[in-house]
Amino acid sequence: MSGEGTDRDGSAALPPRRGILLAGTALLVYALDLVTKVLATANLEGRPPVRVLGGLVYLDLVRNPGAAFSMATGMTWVLTLVAIGVVVAIVWIVPKLRSVGWAIGLGLVLAGALGNLTDRLFRAPGAFEGHVVDFVSVFGPGGQYFPVFNVADSGISVGGVLIVLLAVLGREYDGTLTKTKKQRAQEQEAAGE
């Protein structure tokens, strides 16, 4: 019989706070993505780009059949399957998740994947082929200087950068630090003595 506060294998049980943080981050950003897309389609359809912040940002409705930066146009069903795979992978990691940074990063990526997946599944022209609603264009209208994007794309980008930064710093999703080659060599040397 395991004691209170431990798992069946006797290891210390951690409260599922990191999973809750991941889910909360994902739900917040996913909801923001859905609301902004509804507002964009309701208010920007058939209108010229709306200049905001002195031209720093333009609100310009675009239906994107491809991935970020308009890559993989015509491969919408493949992108749909990739998004489903990303969602499954993140859900699989949740029970092992112990890092706050990874929880936030994965939550952002999950929200972005779900936001764009929702468009691909439920928007025209049909399931698995739907076009993603993009509406934010920076420095000029129509993706003139930078591709038009949405909140989901921002979540994927910011979450991805955070995850890469954590990996470069040696932080693992389970809360451990990655050992350097030098540390591993020292451990092997000490074990061999």
Active-site positions? 134, 153
Q: Which helix (H) or strand (E) holds 100?
A: helix 100-122
Phi, psi of 175 (to 5 degrees): 90, -5
Task: Quote the tokens at residue 90.
Answer: 């993140």
The residue with tokens 């955070």 is 162
Q: Cis ω on the peptide bond leading into residue 141 (within 30° of 0)?
A: no
Helices 76-93 and 100-122: crossing angle in degrees, nearest 10, is 150
Helix ranges (DSSP H) in 123-180: 151-168
Task: Quote the tokens at residue 1.
Answer: 């019989």
Task: Quote the tokens at residue 109.
Answer: 């990526």
